[in-house]
Each structure stands twice: as C-alpha cells, then as structure tokens.
C-alpha cells in the first residue's frame, strides 16, 4: 500500500454499539410523586378484628423500622370504657385525578371502611368520602375537600410495550412514598372477567394497592392492584389495571356513583382446536354459547346454545373473554350487531343490550313427566349410545325444540365424554330433533373423520368430538 493512501472503509475497526445504561427514575419521582397519596382506612371498634395490622406492627418492631402513621397498637375494648372509637383497618395508595380533590384507588382498599384518611405528600391530611366503587374492576374514586392539587397525566396503554421500564409509587406496609421499578412482563393477562391486566415484575406489596404504574414519560398507565404470591409477599409477579379501563369506570363513578354495564344473557366457554376443526370453523376463535337465559336479549335475538359468537358490534371475538368485555362496555339499550357460527355457516343477528344485573337462577334440566320412551336400536349402538326421544315435557323444561336423550354411553361415545342424561342437540353440524333424525345423519357421515356432537348437560351446552373409527 502506498504511503499516504487512504485506508479502505472495510479495514477500519468496527465500532461497538453503544451500551444503554439503566434508566434514571429521579425525574419521574419528582414529576409524579406529588400526585400520589396514602390512604388509611378506619373501622369502628365493634367490627375491628385483630390480624393484619398486628402482624405488620410486629414486623416493624422486629426490624427496628419506625411505625407508619396511623398504625398504632390497638387498645383493648375494656380499657377504652366501651367507646366506639375508629381503629386502623388497613393502608393503601391512590393518585390525584383532578386539582379539586378526586382521587383514584382500588375498590378493595376502601371496602368496608367506616372512615378514610388521605395523606398528601406534603403531610396534609384530609377525611375522604367514597364517590363510588366498582368491585368487578376493583376501581374506586374518593373525594377530599382540597384544591390546587397536582393531577397525574394519563398515558396511552396501547403504546405500552412488553419489556418497557415502568415505576410504581405507593405505601407498602404503610411506608409512604416508596418507589419501586421493573419492566412490563406481559399485557392482556386474563385474570378477570372485565379486565385484561398488565403484568409486571415491579415490587408490589400490601399497601401498594391503588397506587399508579408509571411509564418513562411520567404518565400513569395502570393501577397496581394484585400480586401473585404463595406467601403473601411479592414474588416477582404483579398485576395492574389498565388505566384506560379504569378511567372509563371512574368517569361513570364520578357522574352517577355507579357503573352501568351491558349484558345479553348467555353463558360462554372457549372453543377448542379440535372442536373448531370438526365443525368447520377452522381456527379456534369466538365464544361458545353454553346456555341462553330465557327471555334474555340473546334469546329474543335468536341466539341458541351451541352457537359460536364470532363478532359483536363489528369487532372480532378472538377469545371467549373478549365477549363480556365488549358487551360490558356497551351502553344498555343499544342495538348491536352480532355474527354467530351455527351448523357450518354464519348468521348475522341484531341484539338489544340490557343492563347487567344479578344473574337469575336458570331452570335445571328435568327428566320429564311420565315414563321415558324406550331406547331405539340402530346405528347409534355402534358408537356405544342408547338413545331415546324427548317428551313434550322434556322439551318444555329444557327450553329445546328437539334433541335425543343419552340413556347410556359406552365405547367411542364414552371416550368422547358423553354420559347418561346428556341431551344431544346436533350431530355433524345438523340438528337431530329425534332418534330417527340422529340415525339418518349418522348414516351419512364419513366414518374416517371425527364428528362433532353438540349436547346439553344440565343447563350447559357444549361440544365434543366422537372418533367413529375407534
């Protein structure tokens, strides 16, 4: 190489990529810290029970930790002369929603409390009242008479990514303004009917409940709510309520003190891969309708047990848990569209959503009145099935148009899970109103392939698959 010739780019030493350091949370703490509060709950002496507080006090004594405010040893009732004094019940956390004193926390933090004391980071204390609490989502809103507070900034949960750093501020064991950090471990964890939780490895302990989960932009993305633990302490898995769901609930609590949810009156289950393939659905998706409540919106719309709900209001139902969330977030009285898969094809229905209320007990399946028709012999016996037609009383009690009762099950039918007392509604995606219809459908199916069976057991409908060649 000639002296002074430029060095080829390929000959230059490779530059190692820069290594990113661990995040610095100090600015976030200064930004969000003034918005996080401690919540102490008090209970009248008559209903106070010994337990958690005493255990916490012993923990603090043993390790020489100062006892948090409000967690004082309880005086025996006899020593107080019978006075009905409010005694400490528990501790939790919360965060400021508005400058005029609305605060969000968990419903279980305020549940059963006779008095609430909110302590701000500047040590000011206020008595609080519960504006509303929703146990289904574990969200509550309380109000203190204060002004000029520092509300949090609400983040966009859809932008939250697995592996992203997050931080929590709260009062574990009553130790106020405690900061912990970790990463988002997973999203859309199905641990509740109405909420897909955010899973993190942020250290959360008793007292953290109700505090904010904060992203690196200083925005609240969740409410720290639960831990997975076999010991009662933190074990590396914690759950937070997504803030978009919580805000939706809090808005209703602030406006009316309660949450109004939609309902359509069905009991559902997941769709297995085997069932999806056997009925021609392909991939397992949707929500399998196991029962339809009589006179419910679903019944009036024509939904039947065994239907698989694929869409609600134009939104796909990928997992069964998606349906109650979509329906629950629908305003009662709204007319919604719904697509169901039934007998190998799709049908579009229109349903008027009702308001969620305590479920009414459904009538159980009855053996019917009078003597049972004798079992009919035929091709069904090759499956190990003894079948009989339903009586008029059976159909009325079961709220069915037709079907055949299983009097005994053996062989392939027993291996598929069928048993005496089940009522078969459809075979190979075809309704079987009678034993004669069952035999006719069975004679036409391909015995080299599994065949789907829709049956009713008690008040529940479900699918199974019989392998005819076995």
Bridge-based pairing state of the strands 219-227 and 153-154 = parallel
Closest residue by Cα to residue 103 from 129, 70, 137: 129
- DSSP letter for 70, please: T
C-beta of residue 203 within 8 angstroms of C-beta of residue 212: no
Give the integer Cα–Cα distance in Å for 435 and 447: 19
CA–chain centroid gap for 257, Å, is 22
C-beta of residue 338 within 8 angstroms of C-beta of residue 349: yes
| Residue 110 φ then ψ, to 5° | -100, -5
> Which stretch of DSSP H or E encloses residue 425?
strand 423-427
Compute, in degrees rounded to 10, the torsion defined by CA atoms 142, 70, 179, 104. 0
In 294-373, where does DSSP find H-type helix?
297-301, 322-328
* Cα three-residue angle 419-424-425, rounded to 5 degrees: 160
| Residue 469 φ then ψ, to 5° | -80, -5
- Which residue of the set 35, 53, 134, 138 is catalytic? 138
Compute, in degrees rounded to 10, the torsion defined by CA atoms 344, 345, 351, 353. 50
- Say whether 371 is catalytic: no
Beta bridge mates, 309: 287, 340
- Say whether 138 is catalytic: yes
- Which residue of the set 93, 209, 320, 391 is catalytic? 209
- Which residue of the set 108, 114, 407, 408 is catalytic? 108
Catalytic residues: 108, 138, 209
């Amino acid at each position: 190489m000639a002296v002074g010739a430029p060095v080829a780019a390929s000959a230059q030493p490779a530059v190692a990529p820069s290594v990113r350091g661990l995040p610095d949370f100090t600015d976030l703490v200064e930004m969000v810290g003034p918005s996080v509060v401690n919540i102490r709950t008090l209970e009248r002496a008559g209903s106070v029970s010994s337990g958690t507080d005493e255990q916490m006090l012993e923990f603090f004594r043993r390790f020489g930790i100062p006892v948090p405010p409000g967690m004082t040893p309880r005086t025996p009732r006899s020593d107080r002369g019978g006075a009905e004094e409010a005694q400490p019940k528990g501790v939790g956390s919360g965060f400021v929603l508005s400058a005029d004193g609305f605060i969000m926390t968990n419903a279980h933090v305020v549940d059963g409390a006779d008095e609430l004391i909110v302590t701000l980071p500047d040590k000011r204390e206020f008595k609080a009242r519960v504006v509303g609490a929703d146990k289904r989502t574990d969200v509550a809103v309380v109000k203190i008479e204060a002004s000029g507070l520092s509300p949090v900034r609400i983040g966009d949960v859809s932008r939250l990514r697995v592996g992203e750093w997050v931080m929590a501020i709260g009062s574990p064991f009553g130790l106020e303004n405690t900061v912990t950090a970790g990463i988002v471990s997973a999203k859309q964890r199905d641990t509740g009917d109405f909420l897909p939780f955010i899973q993190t490895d942020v250290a959360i302990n008793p007292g953290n409940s109700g505090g904010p989960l904060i992203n690196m932009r200083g925005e609240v993305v969740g409410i720290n709510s639960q831990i997975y633990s076999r010991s009662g302490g933190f074990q590396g898995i914690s759950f937070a309520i997504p803030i978009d769901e919580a805000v939706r609930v809090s808005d209703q609590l602030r406006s009316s003190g309660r949450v109004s949810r939609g309902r359509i009156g069905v009991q559902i289950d997941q769709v297995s891969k085997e069932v999806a393939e056997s009925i021609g659905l392909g991939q397992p998706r949707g929500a399998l309708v196991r029962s339809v409540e009589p006179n419910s919106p679903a019944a009036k719309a024509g939904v039947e047990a065994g239907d698989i709900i694929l869409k609600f209001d134009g939104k796909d139902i990928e997992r069964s848990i998606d349906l109650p969330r979509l329906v629950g977030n629908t305003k009662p009285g709204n007319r919604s569209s719904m697509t169901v898969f039934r007998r190998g094809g799709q049908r579009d229905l229109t349903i008027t959503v009702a308001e969620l209320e305590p479920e009414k007990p459904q009538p159980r399946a009855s053996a019917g009145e009078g003597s049972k028709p004798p079992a009919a012999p035929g091709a069904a016996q090759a499956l190990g099935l003894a079948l009989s037609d339903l009586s008029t009383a059976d159909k009325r009690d079961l709220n069915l148009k037709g079907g055949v009762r299983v009097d005994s099950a053996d062989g392939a039918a027993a291996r598929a899970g069928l048993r005496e007392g089940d009522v078969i509604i459809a075979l190979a995606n075809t309704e079987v109103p009678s034993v004669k219809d069952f035999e006719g459908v069975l004679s036409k199916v391909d015995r080299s392939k599994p065949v789907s069976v829709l049956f009713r057991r008690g008040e529940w409908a479900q699918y199974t698959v019989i392998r005819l060649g076995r």
